[in-house]
A and B are shown apart, each in its own frame.
Chain A
Amino acid sequence: MDKIDLLSFFNQQPQRIKPIFYVLIGKRTISNLLAGRRNHYLNYFRAAPTLAQTTFNRTADVLIQEALITETAPENYILTVKGKQYWQDKRAYVYRLKKYDGLFVPDLDVIDQLLGLAVQVTSNFVHGQTHYIPVSNAWLVQRRVQHWFRHYKRNPDFAQQFMTELAFWLAQLPTAQANADYMAATFQGYQVGWSDLALTDMFGLTPLSQHFMRLDNLTNLVQLLKQKQQALPMIYMLLKQAIYTPNPISISAQKTWLLFGQGYPLSRIAARRHLKPSTIREHLLEVALLNDQFDFKRLISQDDLPASAYFTERMKSIQEME
């Protein structure tokens, strides 16, 4: 993680550093989700699941040491004048997410692997190359691509058709930061493929920003497949099992919400579900945060549990953000 990557999350609004890490790796607690929503980075949820805490902490320390951010209240930091200048100078190296929203997307890593392997297999097939190291070793990914490839390879025009579909998608990507050129450059095929270092040189983005651009591009593909699947039959066939978007609300919270919707008071929901009252309240906070249909007025009439400042404060914050 480059310091400019982390700096891009700061502004004049005081905020804690740790929730940024937890949102990036996808640690789902009310407090992290709330911090992400409040500071406008909740869409980065699970955008960097393999980011190491030591790397993140080291980067945060550098921002503090170099006075690019400063503490205004305990554990709360804002961008300094120096930080603002630094951001102005280096912002071209950073890509901010535009399409991706981590709570509302399917597993893009699987989609990435399926697509990357399909490109590699097709490219090598076209050039008669049979021995190469696959870009994905995942058993299910390889199996899926194998089935897909067997299905299409009898068609003499299949590579051309696949290329046309990829072109249809890439043509839809925004041009300001060369999203399509970048995406195509990340493909590996017969004697084609660049290392991450080369891609950094070519596109002038930090490695994390490249990853974010990739997420945006893949999100675009998922949306395209949902809207215009007839234009991309081969890609749809390849990815159809992977583009399902799960409900961002956890199953347990959904059950609580269902009972809440049926008018049960919170104490009854807790008793019926054999859960602690505090867990029921956590579920409602989760729903209130992630579903804009949540009825705050109804909560007043159904909340018969002893008052909790923690719950009330958080619910109020969520309501204010609506």
Chain B
Amino acid sequence: MNLEQELAHYFGFKTFHPGQKAIIEHALKGDAVLGVLPTGSGKSLCYQLPGLVMHRLTVIVSPLISLMQDQVIQLRQQGQSKVVALNSTVRKAEQTYILQHVKDFDFLFVSPETLGRSDVLLALKQISIGLFVIDEAHCISQWGVDFRPSYLQLRHYRQILKPYSTLMLTATATPKVQADILDKLGLIKQAVRIITNVDRPNIFLDTVKVADDEQRQQLLQTIIKHITWPGIIYFSSRQAAEEVALQLQQTLHIPTAFYHGALSNRDRQLIQQRFMTNQIPIICATNAFGMGINKKNIRFVIHYHAPSSFESYLQEFGRAGRDGKQSIAITFITPADAGLQANLLASGLPSTSMIQMFYNEPRLFAHTDDQALELLRDFYSSGLEMTQVQQMLTAKYQEKQAALTEFQRYLSAATCKRQLLSDYFGQKAVHSHDDTCCCLGQDEAVLTTLKKLNLYQRDSTQQPRSLQKAIETPKVVHWQQTLKQLFE
């Protein structure tokens, strides 16, 4: 089989990205493969192509519903119609239909919790599964900051389903996490590891020190005025994302939207759509935005608040420059950030008393939508005892704290940032430091950096034409006029 021909046939590409071909070849041979590929390097293609070539069902375990939905949309847009997601948001009637017709699909995206249901396992056991994919495989590792207890059951499910081959994919896994992934899945001896470099040479790594929030806001406005669009600005709080989006829109008159987990599905879809079609050039978002966003021409990612780990940083800035063109990742640092991040670490984790209350009467917490309780429910449904959960959460907190400290060291370091990033993931830096690599320490003149990288625009009229849109002011129009806009 000529894989390049298949690639051109199904996806219209001529060549593979580094690591893709090797992973696909192993998957087609029936091996278990761990693939570590950076964000934006085409991880999804590693299961999409073998899935299509094998003509057997590919089951993809995915941790987030939004990620599943994005991947389903992407595959359907590529012309694959037999793609479906099965998770708690899918209506009961539809779930029944999917399970009754599961053999007719090419790709089934499923959450680990749904996969563990007896009816789901039973339906899948009766058909021949070609490829079993564990996406975001680092979620299985207790050493990883994104540990998901429900992922621990995947070893058992894999044994029940007996797939032809198994693919574990992640963008962020240190050697310790890689070993843990394979250990937890019982594949430490037989699995092949394909590790590609996390480096994204076309993204300039920049950090900017600001005294306080006021200075940060002013500098952000200056940057947005002159940087090449489109781009994403990441925040650690929903409120800040909303406030800054509004501010940019009012002061700079640039269509700007905010995006976070509290938005309705309808709004999320609408904002993604507008960003993808260049109607909105700037998005102010929390980390809820981005997974599965496959917009090639994002020129910048700004971290208004610094992320809390290398893993998050890599995932988020990796959304820039997927077309291979020069892009930039700017991270603001203020003296207050360290404390803020430390507080945020604790806020998403349940306290000891909350764990005890939950374990005494889990039913009482069935209707609550708190993030910490959601995590507890995940632990509880994985069959873990209270003491185990307490130990694991303590370890998770310590792990997160260590990751934060390590990342803060990176932000304030005066050496090559690309080198530090590669070191953290246990890799060798591919390129030696030069002018397009990073800011070495702190950037004192961001606009000069933008000019140097050819990402500077004198004003908004110099921005790409497709992005020059006027802000739409919401006003009620007669329904007949709306219908005409829609259909004429």
Contacts and interface: CB of A to CB of B under 8 A. Distances in A.
Contact of A181 (B77, B85, B276, B477): B477
A191 interface: yes
A203 B487 CA distance: 23
B91 A110 contact: yes
Interface in A173-222: 178, 180-181, 183-185, 187-199, 201-203, 207
Interface stretch (B92-100, B157-165, B438-446): B92-100
A54 B374 CA distance: 13
A138 B77 contact: no
Given A131-B77, A138-B94, A202-B476, A195 B270 contact: yes
17 contacts: A52-B368, A122-B486, A123-B487, A126-B487, A126-B488, A138-B90, A163-B483, A167-B480, A170-B479, A187-B482, A188-B270, A194-B270, A194-B474, A196-B266, A202-B474, A202-B475, A207-B264
A135 interface: yes
A123 B72 contact: no
Interface string A47-62: 0000011110000000
B273 A132 contact: yes
Contacts, number: 117
Contacts of A195: 257, 266-267, 270-271
B370 interface: yes
Given A133-B269, A181-B479, A192-B485, A201 B90 contact: no
Interface string B256-299: 01000001101101111100110100000000000000000000
B3 interface: no
B487 A53 contact: no
A314 to B, nearest CB: 25
Contacts of A207: 264
A180 B475 contact: no
Interface in B50-94: 69, 72-73, 76-77, 84-85, 90-91, 93-94
A159 B479 contact: no
B480 A138 contact: no
Interface residues of A, number: 49
Given A133-B273, A187-B482, A195-B270, A162 B474 contact: no
A132 B98 contact: no
Given A132-B273, A185-B476, A202-B476, A191 B368 contact: no
A135 B265 CA distance: 9
Nearest to B77: A131
Interface in A284-318: none
Nearest to A162: B487
Contacts of A199: 474
B367 interface: yes
Nearest to B82: A139
Nearest to A110: B91
A192 B367 contact: no
B476 A52 contact: no
B478 interface: yes
B361 interface: no
Interface of B: 69, 72-73, 76-77, 84-85, 90-91, 93-94, 97-98, 257, 263-264, 266-267, 269-273, 276-277, 279, 367-370, 474-480, 482-488
B474 A198 contact: yes
Given A193-B270, A207-B264, 20 more contacts: A52-B368, A53-B368, A119-B486, A122-B487, A133-B273, A133-B276, A140-B97, A142-B76, A159-B487, A163-B483, A163-B487, A167-B479, A183-B479, A184-B482, A185-B477, A187-B486, A191-B485, A192-B482, A196-B267, A202-B475
Contacts of A197: 267
A6 to B, nearest CB: 16
A166 interface: yes
Contacts of A227: none
A134 B75 CA distance: 13
A139 B77 contact: no
Nearest to B266: A196
Nearest to B274: A193
A26 B482 CA distance: 34
A315 B429 CA distance: 78
A88 interface: no
B486 A189 contact: yes
Q: Which 6 A-B pairs have the closest CB atoms?
A: A53-B367, A184-B479, A184-B482, A198-B474, A189-B486, A180-B479
A184 B487 contact: no
A111 to B, nearest CB: 13
A139 B91 CA distance: 10
A132 B279 CA distance: 12
Secondary structure at the A interface, as helix, strand, loop or mixed, is: helix
Q: Which among A134, A140, A185, A195 has the highest number of chain B CB atoms within 10 Å?
A: A195
Interface string A138-179: 111010000000000000000110110011001000000010
Contacts of A52: 367-369
B485 A181 contact: no
A137 interface: yes
A157 to B, nearest CB: 11
A134 B488 CA distance: 20
Nearest to B366: A53
A190 B264 contact: no
A137 B72 contact: yes
A154 B267 CA distance: 32
A160 B487 CA distance: 7
A66 to B, nearest CB: 22
Contacts of A191: 279, 485
Nearest to A180: B479
A42 B267 CA distance: 30
B91 A138 contact: yes
Contacts of A135: 266, 269
Contacts of A178: 476
A139 B84 contact: yes
Q: Which among B69, B85, B94, B484 has the highest number of chain A CB atoms within 10 Å?
A: B94
A54 B365 CA distance: 10
B487 A140 contact: no
A195 B263 CA distance: 10
A309 to B, nearest CB: 28
Given A52-B367, A139-B94, A167 B483 contact: yes
B482 to A, nearest CB: 4
Nearest to A137: B69
A195 B487 CA distance: 20
Interface string A266-287: 0000000000000000000000
A15 B93 CA distance: 36
Contacts of B272: 133
Contacts of A203: 476
A198 B263 CA distance: 13
A185 B482 contact: yes
Contacts of B486: 119, 122-123, 126, 163, 187, 189-190, 192
A185 B482 CA distance: 7
